[in-house]
């Protein structure tokens, strides 16, 4: 394990109209070098505050942020500026220079760094090829789609050769198809350049599409963290369940019975197992919800089942499913 970012007991408090708001409460986690790490939570969970603490755009009230072995809060202003050169950031609304061409937008950080004009233009064109926009070099931001603008923003960040890329709701303003293409581009960048990517989002679909590990925030608290597969298969906290359990609206119409969420990998032979339960116990099993997701390149499925009212039978069915190495969670809280 080689963490490039370590967050230790981070707290951030704001004073708002005479009252104290705890946006981050004793948060600790590590991000490994070369990882794609998701930070997810609903609105107001503290995600944006946390990401701004990772590069000290927000100064933590207490705690420590260590980037590549350096504790940011202990650095001088000059040292901090030097470290920030290794941390790129892309935002929801692109922040492009509207009066400059696509090429000039990508050249801008190189110009600030003192790179010669011809060298900067050559590097910018290389990056535009990387993000698939070489043919738009002479265009202006107003002539681009939202997805193209975000690709320009990504190329501009890459011009500084960052080790870390922070993405703060970078796909929230995009349609689903464009979001998928941008996430694919970020994955390619991670694999090609080895850049560590931190994705801040409120959308579980984004985390499932691209991230290897994830931290769930809830009202400023780190609810849980781990691999995306583990979170999907067995969320441990109510905050994670709210993000993961996509089929629970069907449960509001249930009356009686035991509801279970069953998770399985793409290799599982799932349908015969349900049929076998019905044949063996001579009792119905109602499929309330079923879905399959691509999580980090692996097919992962889930079903929400309504088992028979007979408690002993339902419990034996649950044991049979678990014996097949399927994830089974009883959803007693959600039964209507």
Query: Using alpha carbons only, what angle is made at residue 179 by residues 247 and 236, rounded to the nearest 5 degrees?
Result: 40
**Overall average pLDDT of the 194-207 stretch:** 92
Asked if the model's pLDDT at residue 325 lies above 90, the reply is no
Each residue's pLDDT tens digit, 129-138: 999 999 999 9
218 forms bridges with which residues in the sheet? Answer: 221
Checking phi first, is residue 63 left (phi over 0); if not, alpha (psi -120 to 50) or beta?
left
pLDDT tens, position by position, 271-322: 577 888 888 888 888 888 888 877 777 778 888 888 888 889 999 999 988 8
pLDDT on residue 332? 67
Report all structural domains of the chain as residue ranges with CATH numbers, in order of start: 3-86+162-236 (3.40.50.300), 96-154 (no CATH), 245-334 (3.30.70.260)
- Position 335 confidence tier, pLDDT thresholds 50, 70, 90: very low
Beta-ladder partners of 165: 88, 197
How buried is 107 (Cβ within 10 angstroms: 0-12 exposed, 13-18 middle, 19+ buried)? buried
Tell me how crowded residue 191 is: count the other CB atoms within 10 A of its CB. Answer: 11
Which percentage of the chain shows pLDDT scores above 70?
92
pLDDT at residue number 193: 92
Q: Each residue of 207-266: pLDDT tens digit? A: 988 999 999 999 999 999 999 988 888 888 888 888 887 555 545 555 556 888 888 876
| Mean pLDDT of the residues in the chain | 88
The residue written with tokens 């790129």 in the block is 88
pLDDT of residue 330: 86
Q: What is the DSSP letter of 73?
A: G
Residue with tokens 């060298």: 119
Read off the tokens for 243: 């993000």
Q: Give me the mean pLDDT over the 111-130 stretch.
A: 93
Range in 65-79, 87-101, 249-263 the model is least confident about? 249-263
149-158: pLDDT as tens digits: 999 999 999 9
């Amino acid at each position: 394990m080689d963490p490039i970012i370590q967050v230790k007991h981070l707290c951030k408090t704001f004073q708002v109209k005479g009252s104290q708001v705890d946006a981050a409460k004793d948060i600790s986690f590590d991000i490994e070098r070369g990882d794609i790490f998701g930070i997810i939570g609903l609105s107001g969970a503290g995600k944006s505050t946390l990401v701004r603490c990772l590069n000290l755009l927000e100064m933590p009230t207490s705690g420590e942020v260590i980037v590549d072995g350096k504790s940011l809060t202990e650095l001088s202003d000059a040292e901090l500026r030097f470290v920030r050169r290794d941390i790129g950031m892309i935002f929801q609304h692109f922040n492009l220079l509207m009066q400059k061409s696509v090429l000039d937008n990508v050249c801008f950080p190189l110009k600030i760094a003192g790179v010669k004009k011809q060298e900067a233009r050559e590097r910018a064109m290389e990056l535009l090829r990387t993000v698939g926009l070489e043919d738009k070099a002479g265009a202006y931001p107003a002539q681009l789609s939202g997805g193209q603008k975000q690709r320009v923003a990504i190329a501009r960040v890459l011009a500084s050769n960052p080790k870390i890329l922070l993405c703060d709701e970078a796909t929230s303003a995009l349609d689903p198809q464009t979001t998928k293409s941008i996430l694919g581009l970020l994955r390619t960048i991670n694999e090609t350049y080895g850049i560590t990517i931190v994705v801040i989002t409120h959308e579980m679909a984004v985390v499932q599409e691209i991230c290897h590990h994830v931290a769930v925030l809830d009202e400023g608290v780190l609810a849980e963290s781990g691999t995306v597969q583990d979170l999907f298969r067995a969320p441990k906290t109510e905050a994670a369940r709210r993000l993961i359990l996509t089929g629970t609206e069907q449960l509001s119409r249930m009356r009686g019975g035991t509801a279970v969420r069953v998770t399985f990998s793409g290799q599982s032979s799932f349908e015969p197992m349900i049929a076998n339960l019905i044949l063996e116990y001579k009792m119905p099993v109602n499929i309330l919800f079923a879905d399959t997701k691509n999580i980090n390149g692996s097919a992962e499925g889930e079903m929400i089942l309504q088992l028979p009212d007979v408690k002993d039978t339902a419990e034996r069915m649950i044991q049979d499913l678990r014996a097949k190495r399927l994830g089974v969670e009883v959803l007693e809280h959600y039964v209507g």
